[in-house]
Amino acid sequence: MKGMKFTDQTSFYSGKVRDVYTISDRWLVMVASDRISAFDVILPQPIPFKGQVLNQIAAYMLNATKDICPNWLLSCPAPQVSIGKKCIPYKIEMVVRGNLTGHAWRTYQQGLRVLCGVPLPENMKENDAFPHPIITPSTKASEGHDEDISKEEIIATGLCTPAEWETLSQYALALFARGQEIASNRNLILADTKYEFGKIDDQITLMDEIHTPDSSRYFLKDGFEERQSNSEKQKQLSKEFVREWLIANHFMGKEGQQVPHMSPEWIGEISGRYIELYGKLIGKPFEPVSLSDDETISRIEAAIAQLT
């Protein structure tokens, strides 16, 4: 659907995973593609049904947290499509971590005990839970890699005011607590995630996707403590296994590195893991839906007409 034109469309943006159409400078049509990215690089092969999985998990989670803070979502007229309110974004990703994993663990392994201005406890093992969730924000880069940043640097550089930071951090921690609760009820552990916020007039509003396997890491709760005690690898459902595969094949998005070949079998395994997480997290089987571009556009146009 990339590059399609809609009635009253005022702009178009293609991100790493989503294609975003702006309508009348007021609404966003966000199409979740089957593209997959890691280390801020779009990998060469699409993952079947990934877009539908992401879009439907995000919609479920946004609806399950709308009592915590306002969010952008208005409707999902097609399996891979969300329509919502356009926000002026904060150029910050609010990364919340409940466990020492991923980027935080790689930092910890290097001997560093402060991440984004937040002190980290000594004597932690990979995937150990923090005493309480921490916020380790990053700058939201339009191109290239996002960068770690501290609360103090965010305020000093004017990315938000002190009062806005308080609201953003309160929202982020409350959303994470709800995400942990939902995950626990499904026998999962929400290890970490990220949130993006923007403003509509003076109202801080939750944007984009939340609690999906692209924005979050989930561990299987059964046997978690036993595996930690035995220093065994945790079973997880997230995109981290793709990053680990890339690292094992000498790719971390750095200049001069080549993306390793993705075999059909490996692509199928990635797709299967996304579908598995959907079933575990939503609590019902995934139902793949394939619509033609014409049908998808027709549904989007009808939804836009209802807004205007």
Q: Domain of 29: which CATH number?
A: 3.30.200.20
Residue 277 has pLDDT above 90, yes or no: no
Q: Which long-range contacts (CB under 8 A, 24 or more apart) does 86-89 make?
A: 86/22, 86/25, 86/26, 86/27, 86/28, 86/200, 87/197, 87/198, 87/199, 87/200, 87/205, 87/207, 88/198, 88/199, 88/200, 89/140, 89/196, 89/197, 89/198, 89/207
Asked if 170 and 267 sit in the same domain, the reply is no
Q: Are residues 155 and 20 in the same domain?
A: no
pLDDT score of 250 more than 80: yes
Q: Are residues 122 and 34 in the same domain?
A: no
Residues 69, 142: one domain? no
Q: Are residues 32 and 131 in the same domain?
A: no
Residue 238, pLDDT score: 76
CATH number of the domain enclosing 180: 3.30.470.20
Amino acid 143: pLDDT? 58
114-139 pLDDT per residue, tens: 999 999 999 999 999 999 999 999 99
Assess whether 301 and 204 both reside in one domain: no
Q: From CA 14, how far away is CA 19, in angstroms rounded?
A: 4
* Residue 137: φ, ψ to 5°: -70, 165
pLDDT bracket for residue 4 (50, 70, 90): confident
**Region for 279 from its dihedrals, namely left if φ exceeds 0, alpha if ψ lies in -120 to 50, beta otherwise:** alpha
Predicted confidence at residue 235, as pLDDT, reads: 87
Tell me the residue type at 185: N
∠ CA 85-282-62 to the nearest 5 degrees? Answer: 20
CA atoms within 13 A on the CB side of 250: 4
Work out the mean pLDDT of the chain and round it to a whole number: 93
Does residue 201 carry a pLDDT above 80?
Answer: yes
Q: Retrieve residue 226's tokens.
A: 């036993």
Q: Is residue 286 part of a domain?
A: yes
Q: Give 285's pLDDT tier (boundaries 50, 70, 90).
A: very high
146 lies in the same domain as 227: yes
Helix (H, G, I), strand (E, B) or coil at 273: helix
What residue numbers bound the domain in which 289 lies? 9-88+262-307
Q: How confident is the model at residue 40 (pLDDT cuts 50, 70, 90)?
A: confident
Q: How many domains does the chain have?
A: 2
pLDDT at 5: 85
Looking at the structure, tell me whether residues 96 and 231 fall in a common domain: yes
Element of type H or E holding 243: helix 240-248
Specify the pLDDT at position 2: 58
Do 101 and 232 fall into the same domain? yes
**pLDDT tens, position by position, 61-74:** 999 999 999 999 99
Residue 236 — pLDDT band, cuts 50, 70, 90? confident
In this structure, are 171 and 94 located in the same domain?
A: yes
- Listing DSSP states for 32-101 in one string gives E-S--EETTEE-SS--TTHHHHHHHHHHHHHHHSTTTS-BSEEEEEETTEEEEE--EE-SEEEEEEEES-
Output the pTM of the full model: 0.91
Three-state secondary structure along 94-150?
EEEEEECCHHHHHHHHCCCCEECCEECCCCCCCCCEEEEEEECCEECCCCCCCCECC
On the question of pLDDT at 1 being above 60, the answer is: no
Q: Of 236, 252, 272, which one is at a domain's C-terminal end?
A: 236
